[in-house]
Amino acid sequence: MKTKLLFLLALISISLICCNKQMSDAAQTATEIITESTEVESNDFIESLLAKMTVEEKVGQMTQYTGFFDPTGPVPKDSGQKEKYEAVKSGKVGSMLNVKTVKDVRALQKLAVENSRLGIPLIFGFDVIHGHKIAAPIPLAESASWDLEAIKKSAANAAKEASAVGINWTFAPMVDIGRDARWGRVMEGGGEDPYLGSKIATARVKGFQGDDLSDPTTIAACAKHFAGYGYTEDGRDYNTTDFGISTMYNVVLPPFKAAVDAGVQTFMNGFNDWNGIPVTGNEWLQRDILKGQWGFDGFVVSDWGSIGEMVAHGYAEDNEHAAELAVVAGSDMDMEAYAYQNFLPALVDSNVVDMALLDDAVRRILTVKQRLGLFDDPYLYCDEEREAAMAVSQEVKDDALDIAKKSIVLLKNDDILPLSKSATRVAVIGQLAESKNAALGSWRLGVEDNTAVSVIEGLEPYLGKNMTYQRGVEVYNGTEGFVNELNINFDDESGIREAVSLARSSDIVIVVAGEHGYQSGEGRSRTDIRLPGLQREMLKQLKEANENIVLVVTSGRPLELSWEDENIPAIVQAWQLGTRAGDAIAEVLFGDYNPSGKLPMTFPRNVGQVPAYYGVKSTGRGDAIDLVFWSHYSDMPNSPLYPFGYGLSYTTYEYSKPTITPTTSGASVSVTVTNTGNVDGEEVVQLYIRDKAASVTRPVKELKGFEKVAIKAGGSQTVTFTLGSEELGFFNNDGEYLVEPGEFDVMVGPNCMDTEGGSFILK
């Protein structure tokens, strides 16, 4: 192997010792534990407050309760609520989640500020995942837009809406890399790729937080779930994660680091056990990496009950032990496990936990509250007039439509789309076409039910009485929120006959099929990622009646669409697009918007290929295709159905051969893209590299640049990418960032498979 000169760009003082570190915790002093992390820069106000606090009050700041107020009034109704009410009054609570009106926030804040001894305001957290009152597309859909400005704006709008109802902290963005379509939560992230995921993490954090955190229209963001939750075994939620250090450094951590660089104020850890240590109790992740090397000066909240879950994991002996492990590991706030509240004071009293650890956590929490402006005005986010105005904001609705259109991915088009505006006899089939709920996704806690524009409503202005609807087979029923095998795989065939007869008497058939919003998301993993229930069967019968089918797929994950790809002439991936779903879909179907979305996750040929992702390592057999002895399946090609970065348009683009000019620190790569069709469009030009030989093997392709450009029909646009140390390096297994000289392949194209390029030598 050729010798390479190593450039140590960012020397990161982690060694593999860190992985064994948990064992030596007992012997470490609090000062040692904290000094491994960055000391948070404090100020006189915070220090003097801290100096006045009792241990119970400190633990109070580290405790988060879920909401208990009935929206119709602040008086608690049962004893559990009453206890919470008293706890807030006596300073035993630092934060609430799931409180969602100004009235309730104000009432709770009043209790904390006017009744507790030190009057420290609460911070109000909420899952503001994609919009708040007006639902934006689910995050995976937005990621398909590859439009960072639009994504940032969408997050900023969500912050405006949420802050108008009193919320000042969102549990978003989820930046977990998702490569397993069975996992229901891929819908909440930025997709499979660490480079794209990092750019999206930055855009979302900046969108939520804006430039000034004390501006009452911005809210604190939270990068979650730290770390590795997306690698949940078998795609089953909350399951074990077991993957190597190289993946941790190069795939899982980069979007979290990007969030820190973008100024994210909080982190959430997670439910997963990673390589034998639940991440909630992982000191290496939270103290050494996050608060140490990365200099994160915000705070870490646990996931819901995840401190207590360390007992079930078999890591903590009991809740008391769990509290000790979590605080030592750097979990600053306990969400709903009550472990800190119940055990930390005594643990401090008996010198098992050093007070300095509590001070560090509380300092971080108070600092974020201060940055949010809560000490200057605890009611900063409580403005009833703004709350009323925001709920109907036309601007937010327009932006939700804009990003919904941009999120749609055209997967297949055999000259059937766009539809003619003078089309008559159009059949619209599928229960999902009439739904005003499905497109809102499963994270829509602030959104009113049944407020999405349905596909039928969106098509109405285009088709009016030229459209006839049939519901077809059942996809969801009245128990939408609760999903298990009983209400995902419906087997009642009765709707098929009418649908087929309508198709027979129509010129065009638009079928809306896929998943209801509640069929993906947290706790909604699937082993079968085809269209649920009898939807494929219905399509088969419809095809016998009419070949002119346009399939609109709504889903929160990549579905397996192999049969559909082979048999249906046009397929539009429409995810769950939020409040303006139907409008966006109609504009795309009729060509008022030329689709520009590209897949942020690979669509597999079947579930057996999962986890399917483009950034794989080469096997030792490489591409040497033999009949038997190479890395392949006997029943299916290795390639995906639709690759990462893929998406069609109503126009066509031609790429020039890229020009690669080596520079001292890398290369400059230029490509000219020409719109060779008849309509204007937007194209996402993508650049991939391969480090041919490295001291730690690198993937066969890595996205390292992209630009979304608008190109008029007949026009051209030259895009230039710069490859430097930031793009060409990687982390070795000791966490050192290296850029190694040698040969790099460069590939440019409209998706990860359709590329052209060359190579250069980095000296």
Closest approach, Cβ 83 to ligand NOJ, in A, equals: 21
Nearer to ligand NOJ, 228 or 597 (CB): 228
Nearer to ligand NOJ, 178 or 647 (CB): 178
**Residue 747's CB: how many other CB atoms inside 10 A?**
24
Q: Does 518 bind ligand NOJ (CB under 6 A)?
A: no
- Full DSSP string of 623-676: T---SSSSS--SSS-SS-SB-TT--B-SS-EEEPPPEEEEETTEEEEEEEEEE-
Nearer to ligand NOJ, 128 or 551 (CB): 128
* Residue choice 69, 124, 146, 171 for contact with ligand NOJ (CB under 6 A): 171
* Residue choice 274, 304, 375, 613 for contact with ligand NOJ (CB under 6 A): 304
Q: For residue 603, which of 649, 554, 572, 559 has the smallest C-alpha distance?
A: 559
The answer to whether 469 touches 456, Cβ cutoff 8 Å, is yes
* Residue choice 57, 283, 303, 334 for contact with ligand NOJ (CB under 6 A): 303
CA dihedral 348, 349, 351, 356 (to 10 degrees): 40
**Residue 56's CB: how many other CB atoms inside 10 A?**
15
The answer to whether 738 touches 8, Cβ cutoff 8 Å, is yes
Radius of gyration of the chain (CA): 26
How many angstroms separate the CA atoms of 16 and 27, rounded? Answer: 19
Closest approach, Cβ 91 to ligand NOJ, in A, equals: 23
Task: List alpha helices for 715-754, DSSP H.
Answer: 725-728
Nearer to ligand NOJ, 71 or 715 (CB): 71
Element of type H or E holding 254: helix 253-261
Q: Which of 303, 354, 360, 691 is catalytic?
A: 303
Structure tokens at 666: 């890398």
Nearer to ligand NOJ, 386 or 526 (CB): 526
Residues 6+ apart with CB under 8 A from 266: 169, 220, 221, 222, 223, 298, 299, 300, 301, 368
Nearer to ligand NOJ, 224 or 524 (CB): 224
Structure tokens at 371: 């940055």
Closest approach, Cβ 246 to ligand NOJ, in A, equals: 26
Nearer to ligand NOJ, 174 or 585 (CB): 174
How many angstroms separate the CA atoms of 317 and 310, rounded? Answer: 8
How many angstroms separate the CA atoms of 514 and 363, rounded? Answer: 47
The overall longest dimension of the chain from CA atoms, in Å, is 80
In 26-180, the DSSP E strands lie at 63-66, 95-97, 123-126, 169-170
The angle that helices 581-589 and 455-463 make with each other, rounded to 10 degrees, is 40
Q: Does 462 bind ligand NOJ (CB under 6 A)?
A: no
Helix then strand then coil, % of the chain, to nearest 5: 35, 20, 45
* DSSP conformation class of 618: P
The answer to whether 416 touches 585, Cβ cutoff 8 Å, is no
The angle that helices 44-52 and 355-371 make with each other, rounded to 10 degrees, is 130
Binders in 491-510 for ligand NOJ, by CB under 6 A = none
* Residue choice 58, 153, 179, 224 for contact with ligand NOJ (CB under 6 A): 224
* Cis? peptide before 255, omega within 30° of 0: no
Binding footprint of ligand NOJ, residue count (CB under 6 A): 7
Q: For residue 421, which of 458, 463, 460 has the smallest C-alpha distance?
A: 463
How many angstroms separate the CA atoms of 587 and 421, rounded? Answer: 11
Closest approach, Cβ 100 to ligand NOJ, in A, equals: 12
Q: What are phi and psi of 64, to 5 degrees?
A: -120, 130
- The mark string for 101-130 relative to ligand NOJ (x by CB under 6 A, - otherwise) is --------------------------x---
Nearer to ligand NOJ, 171 or 760 (CB): 171
* DSSP conformation class of 557: S
Binders in 81-100 for ligand NOJ, by CB under 6 A = 97
Binders in 17-46 for ligand NOJ, by CB under 6 A = none
How many angstroms separate the CA atoms of 21 and 29, rounded? Answer: 13
Nearer to ligand NOJ, 326 or 586 (CB): 326
The answer to whether 667 touches 660, Cβ cutoff 8 Å, is yes
The answer to whether 488 touches 533, Cβ cutoff 8 Å, is yes
As to burial, measured by CB atoms within 10 angstroms (0-12 exposed, 13-18 middle, 19+ buried), residue 240 is middle
**Closest residue to ligand NOJ, based on beta-carbon distance:** 171
Q: Is there a catalytic annotation at residue 25?
A: no
Closest approach, Cβ 206 to ligand NOJ, in A, equals: 20
Amino acid identity of residue 448, one-letter, is: E
Nearer to ligand NOJ, 97 or 328 (CB): 97
The answer to whether 638 touches 632, Cβ cutoff 8 Å, is yes
How many angstroms separate the CA atoms of 193 and 725, rounded? Answer: 19
Nearer to ligand NOJ, 184 or 611 (CB): 184
Nearer to ligand NOJ, 269 or 755 (CB): 269
Nearer to ligand NOJ, 148 or 222 (CB): 222
Closest approach, Cβ 223 to ligand NOJ, in A, equals: 11
Q: Does 237 bind ligand NOJ (CB under 6 A)?
A: no
Residues 6+ apart with CB under 8 A from 672: 655, 656, 716, 717, 718, 719
* DSSP conformation class of 112: I
Give the active site residues.
Answer: 303
Return residues touching ligand NOJ (CB under 6 A): 97, 127, 171, 224, 303-304, 522
